[in-house]
Structure 1
Amino acid sequence: MTQVHARPDVAFDSPSDVIRDVQSARWAQKRWQDMGFAKRRKVLDAWRSDLARNADSIARTMSDEMGKPHSDAMFEIVMSLEHLAWAAANAEKVLGRRKVATSALTKNLRATVEYLPYGVVGVIGPWNYPVFTPMGSIAFALAAGNTVVFKPSEWTPRTGQAIIASFQRASGEFDVAHCVTGGGDVGEALCRSGVDKIGFTGSTATGRKILATCAENLTPVLCECGGKDALVVDADADVAAAADAAVWGAMSNAGQTCLAVERVYVHADVADEFERLVTAEAGRLRAAADGSTQIGAMTMPRQVDIVRSHVEDALASGGRALVGGLDSIDGQVVSPIVLTDVPEDSPAVVEETFGPTMTIRRVADMDEAVRLVEASEYGLGLTVFSRRNGRAIADRITSGNVAINGFVLHAAVPTLPLGGTKQSGFGRVHGPDGLREFAYSRSCTETLVQLPLPLTSFRRGPKVDQLISTVIEQVHGRAGKVRALLDGNGKP
C-alpha cells in the first residue's frame, strides 16, 4: 500500500489494486445488466434507504475530512438522495427500448432504439462535494446497468468508502461497486485500467491530464471542470434577494464550489444598495474549523495560497476590500472577502479562486455586463437577477446552467442536466441526459415486408433508380417549391 500526505490515517490502494477491482467489476457487470431495470431499481432503493439511515454518520465523516459544517454535509446527502431516487425510478423510461418513426422509403421497417450500458465505469470524484458530485455519476451509471469503480479524492477517502460500503451493505452486491483510494497515481491507473468510460469532476488542469491519458485507448470521458461563475444584477432586480444569493453563492462551503459566485456585475443604478446589503451580510459571517460557524475551514493548504495571491494582486492593482482582506486568512480558516474596483485582467477576476471571495463591478447597462461575463474562458454556471429581463440576459451568455432570480437551484431539480461548456468541460450528469451519459445508443431495424423495390441490392436496376428519383422529387422536391412560394420567391 502507498501513503498520500492528504490523509495519513488511511492506507491507500496501489495501481495493481485498481486492476483487481476493475476485473471484479467486469465479472459482475453482465449479471448486473441482466437483472433488468425493475430489479436494479429495488437494489438502488434499498441503497437509498441505507444512505438515509446512515446520513448523520456519513456527514460527520465528511465534515471531519474536508471541513464543511455538519448541516451543510447533511444537506449534500439529502440532495444526493433526491437524484438517486429519480435515477432509479426513471432509468427504464429514459433508456429502455422504444419504437421510433420511419420515413417514406422505409415504411416496411420497424425501427427501435435503446440505450445499453458501457460496461465498467470509472468515477473520479472531488473533495469539495464528496457525496453529491460523484453520486451524479455513480448512481446514474448503476441505474443504467454499469458496474462502477469509484476513486474519491485523496482528501476525502473515508467518505468515498462510506458511500460504497452503504451500497454493498444494502444490496449484498460486493462486486458491482468498488472504491479505490489514493492520489494521482491511482487515478491514472483507473484511466488506463480498461474501464469503458470515465466520469470525472475536478479542476480543468486535471481534466486535461485525464483526457490525454484516456485518449490512449479512446476511453470516453465525462468531464466537469472548473468555473468562474458570474452573478448579474439588473436595474429592476430584487436587490435584497440578489445580495443574499451572492453572499451564499460566494461563501458557502468556504467558496469551494465549482458553481460558486466568484464575479458580480451589478447595474450602476442599484449598485450602492447592493454593495451595502452584501457588506452587511458578508461582514457578519465568520469561518472556523470547529464547526461552530456557518463557514468551515478550507480543505487544501495550497488552495489557501491561491486565495491569498488573488487577494494580494487585486489590492495591489487598485482594488478595494469592502469586507475582509488579507487579515481574513488565518491558516486554513478564511473569513469572507468582498472586493471591488478590481481590474478585469486580475487573477481574482480571470482565474478560479475557489475560496470565500467575490469581486463586484458596476456596469452601465446589461450590454456591458454580458460582454464582461462572456470574456471568461469558463462556461459552467450563471445567475441572473432581473424582474423583467432575466431570460433575455441569460440567453446572451454562454453557460451550461443558469438560475434566474435564485442561486444554483438547477442543481436541485433531478430532471435537469448539469454540466459545463468551454473550459468548464463537457458531458452531463443528472436527469435524462445524465442517464444517457452512461449508456450508448443502439439502433435496430426489423424488416416486416420485403419491398418489391430492392433498395440495398445489386438487383436494383435503372427502372428502380428512376422510380426512386420520382419518389424523391415528389416527397422532397415539392417541399422546396412550397417553401419558395411561401418565401415570396415565386419559384424554387
Structure 2
Amino acid sequence: MPQNYNFVIDGRSVEAGRHFDVINPADGTAFARCPAATTGDLDAAVAAARRAFPAWAATPDAERKAAVNAMADIIEANAAELAELVTLEQGKPLGGMGSQWEVGGAAAWTRYTASLDLPVETIQDDSAGKVTLHRKPIGVVGSITPWNFPVMIAIWHIMPAIRAGNTVVLKPSPYTPIATLRLAELLQAALPPGVLNAVAGEDEIGQAMSVHSGIDKIVFTGSTRTGKRVMASAADTLKRLTLELGGNDAAIVLPDTDLDAATEKLFWGAFINNGQTCAAIKRLYVHDSIYDEVCKRLVAYAANVKVGDGRNADSVLGTVQNRMQFDRVRMLVDAAVADGAQALCGGAPMEGEGLFYPVTILAEAKDGMAIVDEEQFGPALPVIRYSDVEDALVRANDNPSGLGGSVWSGDMETAAALASRLECGSAWINSHSMVRPDAPFGGVKQSGIGVEFGALGLAEFTTVQVIHQ
C-alpha cells in the first residue's frame, strides 16, 4: 500500500481528510499518496505564516543567515532520500544530470542564498540631512512550484523569501508533490514553527492562493497560460508577483562554429532534463553551410544516450513526466512530420510501460510549424535552416516568449554583438541553459515578470522604505 504523506502547518505534520495517488511515470504505478488540501487547510497554513511573520521579520539578520545555512546542511544530510523521491515522481535518472544533481544543486543554491545581504543604501548624508533606503520583508509569500525540478525550484522560491525575513506557504505541483512535502518536513528542524508551511492539492489550491487576502506575494514558475491566470487572480489584492514562465528559446549556430566543441553542448542545451526545462533550446537555427553536419552529429550523439527507468544505473534520460505532456510532444512531432519535417531519430513513443519518448531530432523544420512556434517542453528538437544571420535573428525574436537564447560562433565579438540583440532575459554564447545563483534570471515579453537569483532576486522579496532624517 503506498504511503500517505502529510501537510506541514505551523511546524507540525498535519493529516489530510483525503489523499490521491502520485504516479511513477516510468511504470504507471502509484508509489505514494498525496494529501489533498481544502481551502480550510490553506487558511490554516496562511494563518500560521501570518502569526510567525512578525517574530521572523524581527529576527537578527545573522540568525536568519544561520538558519538558511542550517537548511543547506539538512538537504545535504537527506540528499539520498530526496533524490530517490524525485526520481520516483518526476521520472529523471538518479545519476548524471538527474535527481542527485538536482538535490545537490538545491543545497548549494541554499548555501549561496544564505550569503546574500541587503545593506542599507545611503542616498544622502550631508549637512542638509540624511536619506537612507531600507529593504523590509513583504509578509507571507505563496510559492507555487512546477513538476520539472520539484526540489530545485522550491529552493529557488523559498530560500530567498525566508532569508529576507518573510514566511512561506508552499504548494507543489500535484504531479510531483512528495519530495517537496518531505523537504518541507525536514526543514522544520532549522526554523521556528510557521515560517515554512506546505500544503498540496489540485490546481484549485493554487488558484485559492492567488486570491487569498492573507498572502502578500506570489512566486510562480510554470506555463505562460497559467501565469496569466495567477496575475489576474492576484490583481484584486495587488499582490507582489514574481513569475518565471514558459520559454521558446532560440539558438543560432553561425557557420564558423567549432562543431567538435559545440555538439555535446548543443545536445544538452536542448535535452537537459529530457527537454523539460524552461530555458532549454527549443528552436535550433543552423546556417545552411553546416546544417547537414550539425544534424548528423546530433543524431550520432543521441544514439549513445540511453533512455530508460531513472532507477536503472545506465539510464541517461528518463521519462516525460506526465501523460498530458507526453501526448503534447507526440502530437507536435506527428504534426511536424506530416507537414514535411524529417525525424532523423526518434519520432514515436517507445514500446512498453511508462511515458518514454526517445530523443527526436527534426530536420527541415520550419517557422510556422507548431513545434517551432510553440514550446514543446519535451525530448524533441526542431532544426531550422537559415542562410542570412539577420533573417535568423528576426525569426528568433519573432515569438511572444523571451526567456533565454544563445549564439554559437568561433568569433566571440561577433557572437556577443548578436546575443545582445536577442529579445530574452538571459543570453549565452557557446552554451545554453546553465543558470547560476549569483546571476539574475528572468524573462521578458510573455516569459515572466521579475527576476530570481543573486541580490536582485533577493530584493524581489522585499519592499522599499526610504527614511528621511
- What TM-score, normalized by structure 2, do the two folds share? 0.90
Q: What SS does the aligned partner of 2:384 have?
A: strand
Check 1:143–1:302 CA distance in 2 against 1; reply closer, same or farther (3 A cut): same
Q: How many Å apart are 1:246 and its aligned residue?
A: 2.1
Counterpart Cα distance in 2 of 1:98 and 1:250: 41
Give the structure 1 partner of residue 250 of structure 2: 230
Aligned to 2:101: 75
The residue number in structure 2 matching 1:438 is 461
The CA deviation at 1:4 is: 4.5
Counterpart for residue 18 of structure 1: 42
* Residue number in structure 1 paired with 2:52: 28
Would you say the 8 A contact 2:281–2:433 is kept in 1? no
Taking the aligned partners of 1:40 and 1:435, their CA distance within structure 2 comes to: 14
1:59 aligns with one of 64, 83, 88: 83
Letter in 2 for 1:76: E
The alpha-carbon deviation at position 10 of structure 1 amounts to: 1.8
Query: Identity over aligned residues, as a percent?
Result: 32
Instruction: Tell me if structure 2 keeps the 8 A contact 1:115–1:442.
Output: yes
Residue-by-residue CA offset, 1:430-475 (whole Å, 9 max, x unaligned)? 11111011001111110xxxxxxxxxxxxxxxxxxxxxxxxxxxxx
Instruction: State yes or no: 1:341 paired with 2:364.
Output: yes
Shift of 1:6: 4.7
Query: What's the CA shift string for 1:382-401, capped at 9, x where partnerless?
Result: 12211212211111110011
State which of 421, 427, 431 in structure 1 corresponds to 2:450.
Answer: 427
- 1:3 deviates by 4.1
Of Structure 1 and Structure 2, which has the larger fraction of its residues in helix?
1
Instruction: Say whether 1:138 aligns with 2:158.
Output: yes
The answer as to 2:133 corresponding to 1:113 is yes
What is the one-letter code of the residue matched to 2:426?
N
Of 411, 420, 427, which aligns to 1:402? 427
Structure 1 residues 236 and 294: alpha-carbon distance in aligned structure 2, compared to 1, 3 A threshold? same
* 2:348 aligned residue (298, 301, 326): 326
Give the Cα separation in 1 of the matches to 2:422 and 2:140.
36
Counterpart contact for 2:71–2:110, Cα < 8 Å: no
What's the counterpart of residue 372 of structure 1? 395
CA distance in 2, matches of 1:226, 1:116: 30
Match of 2:326 among 299, 304, 310: 304
Bigger shift: residues 240-249 or 192-201: 240-249
Kindly indicate whether residue 197 of structure 2 is the aligned counterpart of residue 178 of structure 1. yes
* Structure 2 residue matching 1:287: 3-state secondary structure: coil
Which residue is 1:151 aligned to? 171
Conservation of the 8 A alpha-carbon contact between 2:92 and 2:318: yes
Aligned-partner Cα distance in 2 for 1:82–1:261: 25
Tell me which residue corresponds to 1:291.
311
Which residue, out of 202, 222, 239, partners 2:259? 239
Cα drift, residue 19 of structure 1: 0.7
Distance 1:329 1:221, change over 3 A: farther
Of the three residues 333, 338, 356, the one matched with 2:379 is: 356
Cα deviations by residue, 1:223-261 (Å, 9 ceiling, x for unpaired):
111111112111122223322122112222121111121
Q: Which residue in the other structure is 2:13 paired with?
A: none
Q: Is the 8 A contact 1:147 1:177 kept in 2?
A: yes
**How do 1:478-489 residues align onto structure 2 when only pairs under 5 Å count?**
none
SS at match of 1:442: strand
Contact 1:230 1:382 in 2 (8 A): yes
Amino acid at match of 1:126: P
Unaligned runs of 5+ in 1: 447-492
Residue 303 of structure 1 aligns to which amino acid in structure 2? Q
Alpha carbons 1:2, 1:14 under 8 Å: kept: no
- Residue 328 of structure 1, CA deviation: 4.6
1:449-464 paired onto structure 2 within 5 Å? none
Secondary structure of the residue aligned to 2:34 is coil
8 Å CA contact 1:366, 1:393 repeated in 2: no
SS of the equivalent of 2:281 reads coil
Distance 1:112 1:337 in 2: 56
Distance 2:461 2:388 in 1: 42
Check whether the contact 1:308–1:329 (CA below 8 A) recurs between aligned residues.
Answer: no
| Partner residue, 2:226 | 206
SS in 2 for 1:344: coil
- Conserved 8 A contact 1:254-1:334: no
Partner Cα separation in structure 1 for residue 289 and residue 373 of structure 2: 25
1:281 aligns to what SS in structure 2?
Answer: helix
What's the secondary structure of 2:116's corresponding residue? helix
Looking at structure 1, the residues matched to 284 and 174 of structure 2 have their Cα atoms a distance apart, in angstroms, of 32
Which residue number corresponds to residue 220 of structure 1? 240
Q: CA RMSD in A?
A: 1.7
Deviation at 1:282, TM superposition (A): 1.4
- Partner amino acid, structure 2, of 1:152: P
Partners of 1:247 and 1:417 lie apart in 2 by: 24
> Which one-letter code corresponds to 1:36 in the other structure?
P
1:377 counterpart SS class = coil
What displacement does 1:132 show? 1.2
Residue pair 1:240, 1:277 contacting (<8 A) in 2 also: no
Compute the displacement of 1:2 (Å). Answer: 4.1
Q: C-alpha distance in 1, partners of 2:155/2:120?
A: 25
Aligned to 1:487: none
Determine which of 428, 433, 440 is the counterpart of 1:417. 440
Shift of 1:291: 3.1
In the TM superposition, what whole-angstrom CA distance separates every residue of 1:35-93 from its partner, at most 9, and x where no partner exists? 121011111111111111111110001101111111211111222222212221113xx
Deviation at 1:327, TM superposition (A): 4.8
> Could you tell me whether the CA contact under 8 Å between 2:141 and 2:216 is conserved in 1?
yes
CA contact (8 A) 2:72 2:108 kept: no
Tell me the residue number matched to 1:475. Answer: none
Larger relative strand fraction = 2
For 1:191, the equivalent position in structure 2 comes to: 210
1:343 offset after TM fit, Å?
Answer: 2.5
Structure 2 CA distance, aligned partners of 1:266 and 1:329? Answer: 32
Instruction: Indicate conservation of the 8 Å contact 2:72/2:110, yes or no.
Output: yes
For 2:423 and 2:183, the matched residues in 1 are separated by 34
